[in-house]
Amino acid sequence: MTNEELQAIAEKEQAEQSKYRHRIHVCAGTGCVSSRSEDVLATFQDEIKARNLQDTVQVKRTGCMGMCAAGPLVTNQPDDLLYKEMTPELVPAILDSLDGEPYAEKLMDTQAPFFTCQEKSVLELAGIVDPERVEDYIAKNGYIALVRVLNDLSPAEVIQQLMVSGLRGRGGAGYPTGLKWSTVAKADGAKPKFVTCNADEGDPGAFMNRSILEGDPHRVLEGMAIAAYAIGAAQGYIYVRAEYPLAIKRLRIAIRQAEKLGFLGQNICNTNFNFKIDLRLGAGAFVCGEETALINSLEGNRGMPRPRPPYPAQSGLWESPTLVNNVETFANIPGIISKGGEWFARLGTKTSKGTKVFALTGKVANTGLIEVPMGITLREIIFDIGGGIPDGHKFKAVQTGGPSGGCIPESYLDTPVDYESLKQLGSMMGSGGMIVIDDTSDMVDVARYFMQFSMEESCGKCIPCRVGTVQMYNLLGKFQAKEATEKDLKILEDLCDLVCNASLCGLGQTAPNPIISTLRYFREEYTQKLKKSDKVEEVVS
C-alpha cells in the first residue's frame, strides 16, 4: 500500500458518499443497540427501499455518538441534525422530513453545551464512520499516519513526536507514553518485543475503551502498528474482556480488513516491517487490567500480578520487553503523528496534554461518553456538559477513577482536571469513569460498594489486599449498622494505610482510596454512625 493507493481508496469512498443527498447515521454502540437501534437501522433500510430512495439516501451504522442517555441516536448528514430516542415507528416521519423541516419532536440541540464544550480527537470519527468498513475510515484520513511513518519517519522520530506531544498513559497512572516507548525501544534486542493493548476495562461505570473499540477500531490498530514500528515489535495482542462481544466482533472484522489491505501482516506497505495483531479475551477478572497480571493472563497463566521491577518494558510477556498501553493511548497516536506533537500539546495543562475521554454516569442529566480538553474544571463537566443533577436534587460528590479513585466534594469542583490535581484531591484520573453522586446517597454506602468490588476482585496473592479488603468491608458494614466504635474507626484508618502501602499491585495500593477520600471530605457521615453508647462515653471522658 502506497500513499497513492491509499488516496485512491479514500477518493473513491468520498465520491461514493457524496453521491447521496442525505446520509443517515444510526448509533450502533452497545447502549443504543440495547435500546433497539438495530431495529431502527433495519427499518430505515426497508423503508428506503420501499420508497425507492436508494440513490439519494444512505443509511449506515456508526459508533457511539456520546449522548447515551437519549439513545437510540440518529444523525442526518450533511445537515447535522441529531435525533434522540428513535424507534422503528418514527422512521417514516424522519424520512418524510428529509427535504423539508426537521422532525422537531425528537430533534436535539447540537449547540447545547453538551456538544459545544467538548473537544473531539480520539472520538472524532465515532458516530461518523461505519466501524465495520475500513474504506470509511480511510476516507476520513485513516491509515495516513501509518503510511507516513513507514515511508518517512525513523522509529526515533516517531518517539520524538510522542515526547513533544506530552501524551501520558490514558489507563490511569499517567506514565509518559514517549518515555515508555523509548524504554522498550532501547531494551535488549535479542528477544522479540511485543505490543500489548490493554482493553480490559473493568471499572464500574466506565465504558470509554469499549466505545472507542466499537466506534473506531481501526484507529487503535493503526496506533498499535505505529507503536510496533517505533519499538521494533512484530507481534501485538489486544487483551479485551469477553464481556464486550460487540467490541470483539468489530475488532475481528477490523483486523481482517487491515490484513487484507496490507496494514497488518508481512511487508506492510511494501517495507520490511511485519506486524501481526491477535485478540486475547479476558475471563472476567478486574485485576487483569493491571499490566503484570494482564501479561500473566496473556501467557495462559492465572491472572495474578507480578512484583515490579522488573517492569514489562524490560521483562514482560514471556520475559521479553513488552509495551503495554491502554486503548485510548493507542487511539491518540494516529492524530499525533499526522498532525504533529505540537498540535496535540496545544490543549491541556502544563503536565497533562491533549484531551481525555470520560464516561459520565450516575446522577447527572446527560449520561454519556464525552471527550474534553485536559484542564477543564469538574464543574464544567458536570454542570455544563452533564447538564447538572436531575430531579431537583443537590450535587454531593463526584467519584473519578472507579474503585481506585476517590470522591471529590462540591468545594473542589473548580479544580482543573489533570493527573496531578486529581491525585492531590485524593482521587485519580483512572481510565476515565466519572460517577456523579447526589444528596440521596450515603457516603459510607458508596465507600462500601467500592470496597465490595475490590474485595471480590482481589486476586488473593498478597495478604494486605486479600484480607485487608475483607476486613475493611466488614468494618464499613458495622458503620452501616451503627455498631461501630471509635476504635473501629481507628482500625479502619490503620487498614487503609497498610493496604495502600503494603499491597503488591495497583489494585490493592489504590483500593482504600474510596474510604480515605470519603473520610477526608465526609468524616461526619462516619462519626454520625458511631454506636450511641460509645459517643456518650466520649463526652464523659
Partner 1 sequence: MSPTSTTVKTLTIDGVQVSAKEGETILEVARQNNIHIPTLCHLEGLSATGQCRLCMVEINGNSRLALACITTVNEGMVVVTQNKLIDKYRRMIVELLFSERNHICAVCVSNGHCELQSTAQQLGVTHITFLYLHPMFALDGSHPRFEVDHNRCILCSRCVRVCDEIEGAHTRDLRNRGSKSLIITDFDTPWGQSQTCTNCGKCVQVCPTGALAEKGKSVAEMSKRRQFLPYLVTRRGGNQT
Query: Which residue in the block uniquely carries the three cell numbers 470509511?
Result: 136
C-alpha 374/C-alpha 350 separation (Å) is: 10
Q: Output 233 or 465, the one with its CB closest to partner 1.
A: 465
Shortest gap between Cβ of 477 and partner 1 (angstroms)? 10
With beta carbons less than 8 A apart as the criterion, state whether 157 and 316 touch.
Answer: no
Binding site for partner 1 (CB under 8 A): 285, 287, 302, 306-307, 455-464, 466-471, 474, 491, 494-495, 498, 501-504
C-alpha 268/C-alpha 263 separation (Å) is: 6
Q: Output 175 or 343, the one with its CB closest to partner 1.
A: 175
Shortest gap between Cβ of 294 and partner 1 (angstroms)? 15
Which amino acid is residue 426, in one-letter code? G
Q: Output 181 or 450, the one with its CB closest to partner 1.
A: 450
Closest CA to 231 of 174, 264, 185: 185
Q: Output 331 or 459, the one with its CB closest to partner 1.
A: 459
Q: Output 56 or 471, the one with its CB closest to partner 1.
A: 471
Closest CA to 450 of 496, 417, 418, 491: 496
Around Cβ 456, how many Cβ atoms within 10 Å? 11
Q: How many CA atoms does the CB half-sphere of 239 hold within 13 Å?
A: 33
With beta carbons less than 8 A apart as the criterion, state whether 449 and 535 touch.
Answer: no
Give the CA-trace dihedral at 59, 60, 66, 67, to 10 degrees: 40
Q: CB-based burial of residue 96 (10 Å sphere; 0-12 exposed, 13-18 middle, 19+ buried)? A: exposed
C-alpha 77/C-alpha 60 separation (Å) is: 11
With beta carbons less than 8 A apart as the criterion, state whether 337 and 307 touch.
Answer: no
Shortest gap between Cβ of 291 and partner 1 (angstroms)? 16
Shortest gap between Cβ of 498 and partner 1 (angstroms)? 5
Residues near 251 by beta carbon (within 8 Å), at least 6 away in sequence: 213, 217, 220, 238, 240, 279
Strand arrangement, sheet containing 193-199:
276-282, 233-241, 193-199, 322-326
Shortest gap between Cβ of 198 and partner 1 (angstroms)? 19
Pairing of β 368-373 and β 395-400: unpaired
Q: Output 235 or 452, the one with its CB closest to partner 1.
A: 452
Pairing of β 276-282 and β 74-77: unpaired
**Would you give the distance in Å from CA 426 to the centre of its chain?**
21
With beta carbons less than 8 A apart as the criterion, state whether 359 and 405 touch.
Answer: no
Shortest gap between Cβ of 427 and partner 1 (angstroms)? 20
Shortest gap between Cβ of 452 and partner 1 (angstroms)? 11
Shortest gap between Cβ of 255 and partner 1 (angstroms)? 31
**DSSP 8-class letter at 143:** T
Shortest gap between Cβ of 205 and partner 1 (angstroms)? 21
Q: Output 21 or 423, the one with its CB closest to partner 1.
A: 423
DSSP string, 27-61: E-SHHHHHTTHHHHHHHHHHHHHHTT-TTTEEEEE
Shortest gap between Cβ of 470 and partner 1 (angstroms)? 5
Q: Output 86 or 504, the one with its CB closest to partner 1.
A: 504
**Joined grid coordinates for residue 327:** 486503548
Q: Output 65 or 287, the one with its CB closest to partner 1.
A: 287
C-alpha 173/C-alpha 507 separation (Å) is: 12
Q: Output 245 or 307, the one with its CB closest to partner 1.
A: 307
Closest CA to 512 of 492, 490, 526: 492
Q: Output 70 or 496, the one with its CB closest to partner 1.
A: 496
Q: CB-based burial of residue 1 (10 Å sphere; 0-12 exposed, 13-18 middle, 19+ buried)? A: middle
Shortest gap between Cβ of 284 and partner 1 (angstroms)? 10
Q: Output 333 or 465, the one with its CB closest to partner 1.
A: 465
Q: Output 43 or 503, the one with its CB closest to partner 1.
A: 503
Shortest gap between Cβ of 199 and partner 1 (angstroms)? 21
Shortest gap between Cβ of 101 and partner 1 (angstroms)? 58
